[in-house]
Amino acid sequence: MGIPHDHVLHIANKTNLDDTPKNMDESKSEPSSVKKVYTAARNMLLAHSAAVQSYRTKFQEHQKGKIGITLVSHWFEPLYDTHFEDKRAAERGLDFMLGWFLEPVLTGQYPQNMIDCVPPANLAPFSEKESELLKGSIDFLGLNYYTAKYAADDPHPSKIGYYGDQKAAYTFIKDGKPISELSGADWLYIVPWGIYKLLKYVQSKYKNVPAIYITENAYEACADKTRVNYYRDHLGNILKAMKQQVNIKGYSWSDNFEWKDGYTNRFGLIYIDYMNHLKRYPKDSAMWFTKFLVRKPAKESRVKEGRSRRHPEA
C-alpha cells in the first residue's frame, strides 16, 4: 500500500477537515501558512509516486504485490437538489476532500474545481515529469467512509485558505432536521446511503479507477444493537453498488486511536477493558459479524434460491 491519506491539514499544523482549533482564527492566517496546506499535500503525493515507482521497478515482479493509496471522504449531498449552485458546491466538496488526492494519482492533475478555486500561488502545478509519475500510480483504491453532509453554495466565505477556497458551507441540518441519526461522536451521523452514492460517484467520474477496498467504516456508540444495524445497512448499500458493477474487492471495519479523543470513542466490535489488563469482550456486533461471514454451503444456497423462485401458488 502506498502512503495513506486521511486529513492532510494535520501536516500543516491544522486539525481535521471537520474542525479548526478553538484558539486559531484561520481568517487571520498568514498567506504562507495557508499555502502550507497545499504544499504538504503536494509533497505527500510526490512521495507516494516515488514510493510506487520504487516498488514497481524493484519489487513488484518478484513479490507479485499490489500498491495503492487509502483516502477518506464524506458524501456531500446538495442542500437543495433544485438549486444548481448547491449541486456545484457538493461537487467542490468531493473534489477538495477526495479528488484532491484521487485525481492526481489517476490522471496526474488536480481536479479542475481546485485549479479554478485555489489561488495559483498556493496550488503549484505538477511538472510534466511529476505528472507522469503520478498518473496511474495505484493498483487499488482504499476508501474510508463514515458519514455524509449537506453542501450549500457560499460565494462569500468568512474564512480564507482551504476552507474558504471551496466557497461552500457544510451542515448536517436541513430545514431544522438532521441528515440522520447521530452516533456517539458529534461528527458522525449514520448515513448508509452515502456510501452507495460515494461509490457510484467514483465509478462514474473516474473511469480508470482500479479495484476499491473499503478500508474504514465504523460507528461510535455504547448501544451495540445500533452498531449491528450500521454494519448491516452499510454492507447492504455496498452490495447494491456491487450489483451495479462497482468494482469492490474488500471491506474492513475499524477501531482506532481517535485523534484528539484518544480511546474514549469506541468504534470496534470488541470491548477492551483498559482498567483490567486490556481484557477483551466480544460485543453483540462481533457475534453478528461472525455469523455474517459464515459462507453457506453451496447446496443449501441453491436449494434456498430454488425455493425463492417457485411460483407463489406452487
Q: Which domain holds residue 82?
A: 8-191+213-218
**Pick from 2-11, 62-71, 95-104, 274-283: least confident:** 2-11
The DSSP secondary structure of 29-61, one letter per residue, reads --HHHHHHHHHHHHHHHHHHHHHHHHHHHHTHH
Instruction: Note the pLDDT of residue 309.
Output: 43
Q: Is residue 60 part of a domain?
A: yes
Count of domains observed in the chain: 1
pTM of the model: 0.85
Q: How far is CA 199 from CA 211, 213, 305, 314, in A?
A: 11, 11, 28, 40
**Beta bridge mates, 75:** 148
Tell me the CATH number at 177. 3.20.20.80
Of residues 245 and 298, more confidently modeled: 245
Across all residues in the chain, what is the average pLDDT?
85
Q: Is residue 273 part of a domain?
A: no
Q: Is residue 247 part of a domain?
A: no
Instruction: Note the pLDDT of residue 12.
Output: 39
Q: Is residue 260 part of a domain?
A: no
Q: Is residue 67 part of a domain?
A: yes
What is the separation of C-alpha 166 from the centre of its chain, rounded to a whole number of angstroms? 18
How many C-beta neighbours within 10 Å does residue 217 have? 21
Q: Are the CB atoms for 47 and 104 separated by under 8 Å?
A: no
Tens of pLDDT along 174-212? 999 999 988 877 888 999 999 999 999 999 999 999 999
Q: Is residue 119 part of a domain?
A: yes
Q: Is residue 255 part of a domain?
A: no
Q: Is residue 265 part of a domain?
A: no
Cβ-in-10-Å burial (0-12, 13-18, 19+) of 155 comes to exposed
Q: Which of 201, 181, 203 is nearest to 192 (CA)?
A: 181
Instruction: Note the pLDDT of residue 305.
Output: 42
Q: Are the CB atoms for 87 and 81 separated by under 8 Å?
A: yes
